[in-house]
């Protein structure tokens, strides 16, 4: 006789409304980091979004040179683990090593390096910290073996519309490597990325301006 599937009780406040991560994300296997299983990353540095979403972790990467004041504020305000960007593109060399050590001491669960970083620089960061080092993959011809050999713990595949195809290729060549990937905003694109072999998904939420627009339209009715 098949067992009845039980649902989890839902407990919520009267005033807070939570930004929900698409449920398709949770079909991924997840990545267990220091005993915590992570399937969903919210890709934002907005503290209001971070404090009001149901993601498993924060992917705090932004298009400016990383600054300790920003990472410290995000880590202190967040009640979920934070993975901090520490450069790799504009910011390179010993500064990435220093930033990685700083965010580790602030309490980050992992560091994220951008695709242009050299293998030598990647190795220096990996040797300096005792938290996972995530390397971003933006092209299909990336030498994944070299990235792993130089200390990358997790791959972050960000290849726009080609992401599912690149994830599938990496998964075929490296069956056990942990893969985070961008899933897009639709259930269909997320499902395709998970099916291709991504263990976890980064989800870009609507901006506060978009959320406010929806709220104000409702208020005008």
Note the pLDDT tens digit of each residue in 19-60.
Answer: 999 999 999 999 999 999 999 999 999 999 999 999 999 999
- For residues 188-217, average pLDDT: 93
Alpha carbon 46 to its chain centroid, in Å, reads 14
Note the pLDDT tens digit of each residue in 43-53.
Answer: 999 999 999 99
- Would 6 be classed as within a structural domain? no
The number of domains in the chain is 1
Q: In the prediction, which pLDDT does 13 show?
A: 80
- Would 57 be classed as within a structural domain? yes
- Would 131 be classed as within a structural domain? yes
**pLDDT higher for 214 or 202?**
202
Note the pLDDT tens digit of each residue in 65-114.
Answer: 999 999 999 999 999 999 999 999 889 999 999 999 999 999 999 999 99
- Would 5 be classed as within a structural domain? no
Q: Which residues contact 157 (CB under 8 A, 6 or more apart)?
A: 136, 137, 163, 166, 167, 170, 179, 180, 181, 182, 198
* CATH code, domain with 47: 3.20.20.60
Residue 103 DSSP one-character state: H
- Would 17 be classed as within a structural domain? no
- Would 172 be classed as within a structural domain? yes
Tokens 């705090």 belong to which residue? 60
- Would 45 be classed as within a structural domain? yes
Q: What is the pTM of this model?
A: 0.92
Q: Name the residue range of residue 165's domain.
A: 23-219
- Would 85 be classed as within a structural domain? yes
Band of pLDDT at residue 205, cut at 50, 70 and 90: very high
């Amino acid at each position: 006789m098949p067992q009845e599937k039980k649902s989890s009780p839902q407990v919520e406040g009267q005033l807070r409304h939570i930004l929900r991560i698409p449920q398709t994300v949770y079909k991924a296997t997840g990545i267990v980091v220091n005993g915590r299983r992570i399937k969903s990353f919210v890709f934002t540095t907005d503290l209001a979004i971070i404090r009001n979403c149901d993601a498993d972790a924060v992917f705090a990467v932004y298009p400016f040179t990383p600054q300790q004041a920003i990472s410290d504020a995000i880590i202190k305000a967040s009640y979920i683990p934070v993975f901090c960007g520490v450069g790799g593109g504009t910011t390179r060399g010993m500064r990435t090593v220093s930033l990685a050590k700083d965010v580790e001491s602030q309490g980050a669960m992992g560091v994220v390096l951008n695709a242009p970083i050299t293998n030598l620089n990647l190795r220096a960061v990996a040797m300096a910290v005792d938290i996972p080092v995530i390397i971003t993959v933006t092209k299909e011809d990336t030498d994944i073996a070299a990235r792993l050999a130089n200390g990358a713990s997790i791959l972050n595949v960000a290849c726009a519309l080609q992401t599912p195809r690149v994830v599938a290729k990496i998964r075929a060549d490296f069956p056990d490597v942990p893969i985070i990937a961008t899933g897009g905003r639709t259930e269909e694109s997320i499902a395709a990325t998970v099916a291709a072999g991504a263990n976890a998904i980064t989800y870009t939420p609507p901006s506060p301006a978009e959320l406010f627009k929806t709220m104000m339209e409702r208020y005008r009715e």
